[in-house]
Chains A and B, each alone.
Chain A
Amino acid sequence: MAEQAIDRSKMKVSDEVAIQISNMNKWYGQFHVLRDVNMTVHKGERIVICGPSGSGKSTLIRCINRLEEHQSGDIIVDGTELTNDLKNIDKVRSEVGMVFQHFNLFPHLTILENCTLAPIWVRKIPKREAEETAMHFLRKVKIPEQANKYPGQLSGGQQQRVAIARSLCMKPRIMLFDEPTSALDPEMIKEVLDTMIELAEEGMTMLCVTHEMGFAQAVANRVVFMDKGQIVEQNEPREFFNNPQSERTKAFLSQILGH
């Protein structure tokens, strides 16, 4: 990836705040998974979140679209505060796209139907228009010819690209990725990462849990390291990798980079 030329002209971080998380805490029963998390994400940022297994990375990004509920503190997404108010939750979910480790495509629907379902039912867009948008994004992730197949007929990498296209069809302002490549074979990882890089080049605000450090170095403007439910260290990628400050970060980096 490093050798690939990345167009940074549109990758601009604006002053506008996309996500504001303040003093957020979450428990699973007695277990304190997220401890006093504070984080401000500006429009256009590409943030990579890493950390050891069980450190709460997935839980953190799942709180942002309320797949998980936090118990104290505030999360404000694009000006909407996440509370029990269902209207706010629906609003946030239609602004925030999410890509899962295991794709979670709907196996009983064709690729095209997967992509048009939410636009038609949530955004109330006419079917024809939704299909045109879907084809546009399927071309973008380079699988327009699979539109009438079912997810089970596609390879893992293709399925993940469909999942990305499905999210994009809702025209989200923020994209969340939870280990999008860790269920894939090495040769498929690249095709998915390429799609994500392209998204970043267009200025999408992205939060990405991943262990692809090449991706982090190439596109992230910030790397966040989590351990035991806390943000331990964050920095711009070059500093983060070359000059980690905390002992935990050093230990983690030496493990995954194999020093």
Chain B
Amino acid sequence: MTSVIPFVRNEMLPEKEPPLRERGVVHWMRQNLFSGPLNTVLTLLGLAVLLWVASHVLPWLMHSVWNASSLTECRDIITQRFGEGATGACWAMVKERWHQYLYGFYPMDLYWRPNLAFVLMFVAIAPVLYTSLPRKMLWFTAIYPALTFWLLWGGSVWTPVVAMLGFVILALIFRALVGKLGVPVSAGIGVVVAALWWMFAQGPVSDALQAAIPLSITTVDSDQFGGFLLSIVIGVTAISASLPMGILLALGRKSDMLIVRTLSVGFIEFIRGVPLITLLFTASLLLQYFLPPGSNFDIILRVIILVTLFAAAYIAEVIRGGLAALPRGQYEAADALGLDYWQAQRLIIMPQALKISIPGIVSSFIGLFKDTTLVAFVGLQDPLKGITTIVRADINWKGIYWEPYIFAGAIFFIICFGMSRYSMWLERKLKTDHR
């Protein structure tokens, strides 16, 4: 048997710096780039690929030409400056045609209208994105859609005002009935009355008001829209409409009521089973057959509706994932405290489920925004194919290839990257679980 040697420490050890090879650049490189044979090979391979790409792209970029009136002139300048066989980017095209990429065929003297709408968009979105801003700003957010509709398409100011009245009617009916009939029934009645208002009262009432107090600005037709104006109009509307719809669909899919559940599942699975292009063709062709003859349903509006439905189905599934991640105890605690179904959803369940779903929701939004370029297939001038085709049809720019795509791609990148950074910021801000 060994005996225990007693030990007592009298002096505590001071903290020391780690040894040199555990710090600094060399340590970082050893850890991240050359930690083993495989890692070393991959690092060298990656470097080789980077060098190869740079050696091809850099000269092309360095030979950029900014001032020329045609592609031929561009090429002449490059040959002149950098010798026979040299290639270079011809940004002169972008300089001459950028406005078409942004506005399509929107009348030039009216550019201030989309510009103003774009700036005001940030004012309208800000209170939604940043909860620290005053809540009163949300009133502007509420009227923003009607204001923008009027700014972009022009016409009588009474059209959007009367359309907004439909929402006011909806809200009033809901508030009057919700105490007695509950959320779903009163919302249903409100929607039906509002729909009747839009179908039967919208035209006569706005005409009458216009006759009484004429107030209008120049009309711009839907086929004059194009480029990023079109993408942003479709994208922003569909994004803001598809989130609430997706939430309702996700709740419907989890509902105890058989009909609600079946309808939600059927809708989600149908939409997810059909390519977006099919829906867009439907928007451009079939919808016209189903609607009463003579009703002229704007093509952009039709596309917006179908893109919204499409995105809503995906967002519903993302949110369902978030709902599934919530422990049952959260529902039980809400029930035990006496919160009703809609209070529990709004105050307890959705804030947590949406937080979990942020990355998925934002991915859906980014996908949706990029998918707006598919409207090229129904004859709208999206910034990628639609406008580029038009530019190439010009004899001066025939044959230009990379530049338009790089330009449009860069703008898409800025917008999508912005969305993704915002979502990361939001996730960090909402992180309260401290796990």
- Enumerate chain A interface residues (CB-CB to B < 8 A): 65-67, 86, 90, 93-94, 96-98, 100, 102, 104-108, 117-118, 121-122, 150, 152-153, 166-167, 170
Complex alpha-carbon distance, A86 and B183, angstroms: 14
Digitize B407-435: 1 where CB-to-A-CB distance is under 8 Å, 0 elsewhere. 00000000000000000000000101111
Whether B351 lies near A93 (C-beta < 8 A) is no
Complex alpha-carbon distance, A65 and B339, angstroms: 13
**Which residues does chain A contribute within 8 Å of B338, judged by CB atoms?**
90, 93-94, 118, 122, 170
One of B39-47, B328-336, B373-381 contacting the partner:
B328-336
Distance in Å from the Cβ of A223 to the closest Cβ of chain B? Answer: 24
Interface size class of B (residues with CB under 8 A): 20 to 34
Contacts A67-B336, A121-B339 hold; do A107 and B433 have CB atoms under 8 A apart?
A: yes
Digitize B337-364: 1 where CB-to-A-CB distance is under 8 Å, 0 elsewhere. 1111001000110011001000000000
Contacts A67-B335, A108-B351, A108-B352 hold; do A121 and B430 have CB atoms under 8 A apart?
A: no
Whether B432 lies near A150 (C-beta < 8 A) is yes
Which positions 301-350 of chain B face chain A at CB distance < 8 Å? 327, 329-330, 332-333, 335-340, 343, 347-348
Contact partner of A107 (CB less than 8 A), chosen from B332, B339, B343, B352, is: B352
B435 (CB) vs chain A CBs: closest residue: A152
**Which residues does chain B contribute within 8 Å of A108, judged by CB atoms?**
351-352, 355, 430, 432-433
**Which residues does chain B contribute within 8 Å of A65, judged by CB atoms?**
335-336
**Which residues does chain B contribute within 8 Å of A153, judged by CB atoms?**
434
A94 (CB) vs chain B CBs: closest residue: B338
Complex alpha-carbon distance, A66 and B338, angstroms: 11
Distance in Å from the Cβ of B188 to the closest Cβ of chain A? Answer: 18
Complex alpha-carbon distance, A220 and B347, angstroms: 36
Complex alpha-carbon distance, A106 and B349, angstroms: 9
Distance in Å from the Cβ of B2 to the closest Cβ of chain A? Answer: 34
Complex alpha-carbon distance, A98 and B337, angstroms: 8
Complex alpha-carbon distance, A184 and B430, angstroms: 27
Whether A170 lies near B329 (C-beta < 8 A) is no
Whether B433 lies near A93 (C-beta < 8 A) is no
Distance in Å from the Cβ of A27 to the closest Cβ of chain B? Answer: 18
Q: 6 A-B residue contacts at CB 8 Å?
A: A100-B329, A104-B332, A106-B333, A106-B348, A108-B355, A152-B434
Distance in Å from the Cβ of B339 to the closest Cβ of chain A? Answer: 6
Contact partner of B347 (CB less than 8 A), chosen from A98, A117, A170, is: A117
Whether B351 lies near A98 (C-beta < 8 A) is no
Contacts A106-B348, A108-B432, A152-B433 hold; do A122 and B337 have CB atoms under 8 A apart?
A: yes
